[in-house]
Copies of this chain bind each other. A is one copy, B any other.
Amino acid sequence: MSIDLKNDRIIRALLRQPVDTTPVWIMRQAGRYLPEYRRIREKAGDFMALCKTPELACEVTLQPLMRFDLDAAILFSDILTIPDAMGLGLSVIEKQGPRFSHPVRTSTAINKLGVPDPETDLRYVMDAVRLIRRELDGRVPLIGFSGSPWTLATYMVEGQSSKTYSIIKGLLYDEPNTLHKLLETLATSVALYLNAQISAGVQVVMLFDTWGGILSPRAYREFSLKYMKAILEQLEREFNGVRIPVILFSKGIGAMVKEVAETGCDAVGLDWMQDISSLRKKLGDKVAIQGNLDPAVLYATPDVIKAEVAQVLEDFGAGCGHVFNLGHGINPDIRPEHVKVLVDTVHEQSMPYHKVG
């Protein structure tokens, strides 16, 4: 397996196989905290131009790998490419987050939405994947991703992020069938999109369910988890005889993470509010775990960063199935030197947990 990879630690850890040291990558590792990223972004003009130009997306994807000993690359893209391809008009404004110029809020608008064809409507993503794979040359695996149907729907209905999510919650409670129709279209679209990413070359896929945590447990099951399960059923879990691990990450869902672990995914992402030690016990050998350092630890001094990284490693303990990561994306005002401390500490301090015998 993964014979074309010089470093397959992440794949192995996601499949709960032995590794020499705990693999690590960082959500949003290609991003604004890197001065070389900010330079390219300025040149590109705006965020979506960067995503839509495969050469630039490739360059940005590889930037953090030049600086840090990361065990994976993650495609530089946005979680909202699918609704953009559906014609909602995505723009990502610095410090304000994503916005859609044409939100969808009615059953008529939702029924009109088509399922994007990945190789035509999202061709720029597939081209970026192919280019990055070529440039990576097997150094580390490439992670592909999408927003979850529920998370895509929140932005598509609200038009932007929200404090109260009153519009989509109104739909959820008053017109659940309309919302289900939207989520079905999205689940089909996401599955097609991720399968196309796999065909183009991604070696791991991840679903980001950023807003799963705003739902009650009952609503989470019905409007978020259900559609992540539907995607899992449609995903190619093997490509050319190589297993493609799938990571599900719903932020802020507390105890519901146990139900995520039972979906058939390979790994669950944990935010930093979760106790990785007790969860590992509860989840048993069902899944691998990705996470879960508080992203704010990176504001602290190197000694504190080392101690907090060591604490997460100790909390997870010995054995297979841990991919180190932050519990959320890295903040734009973090110093790159601190990321180096984190990455190196994970590799150095985790070795004793992987000794055989």
Contact = CB atoms under 8 A, between A and B. Distances in A.
Contacts of A164: 295-296, 331, 333
Contacts of A216: 272-273, 294, 327
Contact of A301 (B169, B174, B213, B255): B174
Interface string A117-149: 000000000000000000000000000000000
Interface string A163-184: 0111001101110000000000
If over half of A's interface residues share one DSSP class (helix, strand or loop), that class is named, otherwise mixed; here it is helix
B215 A273 contact: yes
A132 to B, nearest CB: 29
A324 B149 CA distance: 32
Contacts of A219: 294
- Which of A164, A255, A296 lies at the interface centre, i.e. has the most chain B CB atoms within 10 A of its CB? A296
A253 interface: yes
Q: Give the number of copies in the complex.
A: 2
Contacts of A55: none
A239 interface: no
Contacts of A217: 273-275
B255 A252 contact: no
A299 B169 contact: yes
B252 A273 contact: yes
A5 interface: no
Nearest to A166: B299
A27 to B, nearest CB: 14
B300 A170 contact: yes
Given A273-B217, A275-B217, A304-B174, A169 B296 contact: yes
A299 B170 CA distance: 6
Interface in A271-307: 272-275, 278, 294-297, 299-301, 304
A308 interface: yes
A173 B304 contact: yes
B294 A169 contact: yes
Contacts of A173: 296-297, 299-300, 304, 308
A10 B179 CA distance: 37
A114 interface: no
Given A174-B299, A215-B273, 7 more contacts: A164-B333, A166-B331, A166-B333, A214-B273, A253-B254, A254-B255, A254-B274
7 residue pairs, one from A and one from B, having the closest CB atoms? A254-B254, A169-B296, A173-B300, A170-B299, A217-B275, A216-B272, A173-B304
29 contacts: A164-B331, A164-B333, A166-B333, A169-B296, A169-B297, A170-B299, A170-B300, A173-B300, A173-B304, A174-B299, A174-B300, A174-B304, A214-B273, A215-B273, A215-B294, A216-B294, A216-B327, A217-B273, A217-B274, A218-B311, A219-B294, A220-B273, A252-B252, A252-B273, A253-B254, A253-B273, A254-B273, A254-B274, A255-B275
